[in-house]
Amino acid sequence: MSSLAFVLRMAWREGRAAVRRLFLLTVAVAAGVGALVSINSFTDNLRDSVTRQAQSLLGADLAFQSRRTLSPRTEALIDSLDGDVARVTNFGAMTFVPRTSGARLAQVSAVTGAYPFYGEIVTAPAPAWRELQHGQNTVIDPSLLAALSARVGDSLSIGDLRFHIIGTVTSVPGDVGIRSAFGPRVFIPGRYLQATGLLGFGARVEYEAFVRLPDPSEAQGIAAEYRPILRSDRVRVRTVSDDRARLDDALGRLGNFLGLVALVALLLGGLGVASAVHVFIRQKLETVAVLRCIGATSRQVFAIYLVQAAAMGLLGSVTGAAIGIGVQQALPLILADLLPVDVASTPSWTSVALGVGTGLWVALVFALLPLLAVRRVPPLAALRREYEPVSARRDPARWVALAGLAASVLTLAAMQAGNLRYGLAFSGSIAAAIGLLWAAAALLVLLARRRLPATVPYVWRQGIANLHRPANQTTMIVLAIGFGAFLLSTLFLVQHNLLRELSLSGDGRVRPNFVFFDVQSDQREPVEAAIRSAGVTPVPAVPIVPMRLHSMKGRTVAGIAADTLDDDTTHMPANWALRREYRSTYRDTLVGSERLLAGAWRPRRFGPADSGTAVPISIEQELAGDLGVGLGDELVWDVQGALVTSRIASIREVDWARFEPNFFVVFASGALERAPQTFVTMARIDDPALRGGLQRRIAERFPNVTSLDLTMLQAAIEQLVGRVTLAVRFMALFTLATGALVLIGAVATSRFQRVREGALLKTLGATRGQVLRIILAEYLALGVLAAAAAVALSAASGWALARFLFEVPFGFPPGGALAVTAITAGLTVAVGIWGSLEVVRRTPLDVLRAEA
Amino acid sequence: MLRCQQLSRTYLSGGRELTVLKDITFELEPGGFLAIVGPSGSGKTTLLGLLAGLDRPTTGRVVLDGNDLNALDENARARLRGERVGFVFQSFQLVPTLTALENVQVPLELRGERAEARAAELLERVGLAGRGHHYPAQLSGGEQQRVAVARAFANRPRILFADEPTGNLDARTGHMIVELMAELNRDLATTLVLVTHDPDLAARARRTIRLADGVIVGDSNRSESAA
Q: How far is CA A574 from CA A557, A558, A561, A577, A622, in A?
A: 11, 13, 9, 6, 11
CB-CB neighbours of A142 under 10 Å: 16
- Do residues A270 and A363 touch, judged by C-beta distance below 8 A? yes
The per-residue pLDDT for A569 is: 45
Which chain A residue shows the shortest CA-CA distance from B93? A760
A765 to B112: CB separation less than 8 angstroms, yes or no: no
Task: Give the strand pairing for A634-639 and B85-88.
Answer: unpaired
Which of B87, B90, B135 faces A470 most closely, judged by CB atoms? B135
Instruction: Report whether pLDDT(A505) > 70.
Output: no
pLDDT band at A565 (very low <50, low <70, confident <90, very high): low
d(CA A306, CA A319): 20
A384 at interface of B, judged by CB pairs closer than 8 A: no
Which of A465, A763, A850 faces B87 most closely, judged by CB atoms? A763
Which of B82, B96, B137 faces A764 most closely, judged by CB atoms? B82
pLDDT tens digit string along A237-263? 988 888 888 878 777 777 777 787 788
CA count, 13 A, side-chain hemisphere, A674? 6
pLDDT band at A2 (very low <50, low <70, confident <90, very high): low
A843 to B55: CB separation less than 8 angstroms, yes or no: yes
B74 to A845: CB separation less than 8 angstroms, yes or no: no
Is A718 strand, coil or helix? helix
The per-residue pLDDT for B226 is: 36
The per-residue pLDDT for B6 is: 92
CB-CB neighbours of A228 under 10 Å: 11
A632 at interface of B, judged by CB pairs closer than 8 A: no
pLDDT tens digit string along A604-636? 677 776 777 788 899 998 888 888 888 888 899
Domain regions of chain B by residue span? 31-56+75-226
Topology at the third CATH level for domain B31-56+75-226:
Rossmann fold (3.40.50)
3-state DSSP percent of chain B in helix, strand and coil, to 5: 40, 30, 30
Instruction: Report whether pLDDT(A572) > 70.
Output: no
A473 at interface of B, judged by CB pairs closer than 8 A: no
A850 to B93: CB separation less than 8 angstroms, yes or no: yes
- Do residues A575 and A624 touch, judged by C-beta distance below 8 A? no
What is the interface pTM, i.e. ipTM, of the complex?
0.78
Q: For residues A167-176, give the mean pLDDT.
A: 83
What separation, in Å, do the N-terminal and C-terminal C-alpha atoms of chain B show?
Answer: 25
Q: What is the pLDDT along chain B (227 residues), one digit of tens a residue?
A: 899 999 999 887 777 888 889 999 999 999 889 999 988 888 888 898 889 888 889 999 999 999 998 998 878 888 888 888 888 888 888 877 778 988 888 888 777 777 788 899 989 988 888 888 888 888 888 899 889 989 888 888 899 999 888 888 888 888 888 888 888 778 888 899 999 888 878 888 889 999 999 899 988 875 444 33
CB-CB neighbours of A457 under 10 Å: 15
The residues pairing with A646 across neighbouring beta strands, listed in sequence order, are A615, A635
A848 to B74: CB separation less than 8 angstroms, yes or no: no
Q: Which residues contact A750 (CB under 8 A, 6 or more apart)?
A: A471, A473
For residue B81, the chain A residues in CB contact (below 8 A) are: 763-765
Instruction: Report whether pLDDT(A33) > 80.
Output: yes
Q: Percent of chain A having pLDDT more than 90?
A: 12
- Do residues A119 and A86 touch, judged by C-beta distance below 8 A? no
For residue A848, the chain B residues in CB contact (below 8 A) are: 45, 48-49, 54, 89, 163
pLDDT band at A167 (very low <50, low <70, confident <90, very high): very high
Domain regions of chain A by residue span? 1-58+241-399, 84-212, 433-508+714-852, 537-683
CA count, 13 A, side-chain hemisphere, A158? 31
Give the rounded distance of the alpha carbon of A236 from its chain centre: 28
Q: Who wins on pLDDT, B69 or A10? A: B69
Instruction: Report whether pLDDT(A111) > 90.
Output: yes
Which chain B residue shows the shortest CA-CA distance from A470? B97
B137 to A386: CB separation less than 8 angstroms, yes or no: yes
d(CA B22, CA A527): 103
The per-residue pLDDT for A157 is: 92
Q: For residues A167-183, give the mean pLDDT.
A: 78
Q: Who wins on pLDDT, A794 or A394? A: A794
Instruction: Report whether pLDDT(A852) > 50.
Output: no
- Do residues A300 and A287 touch, judged by C-beta distance below 8 A? no
A757 to B95: CB separation less than 8 angstroms, yes or no: yes
Average pLDDT along chain A? 82
Which chain A residue shows the shortest CA-CA distance from B45? A848
B109 to A462: CB separation less than 8 angstroms, yes or no: yes
Helices (H), strands (E): how many in chain B? 8, 10
A470 at interface of B, judged by CB pairs closer than 8 A: yes
A471 at interface of B, judged by CB pairs closer than 8 A: yes
Q: Which residues contact A81 (CB under 8 A, 6 or more apart)?
A: A62, A211, A213, A222
For residue B79, the chain A residues in CB contact (below 8 A) are: 765, 767
Q: For residues A728-753, give the mean pLDDT.
A: 74
Q: For residues A279-302, give the mean pLDDT.
A: 78
Tell me how close the Cα of A483 comes to any Cα of chain B, in angstroms: 27
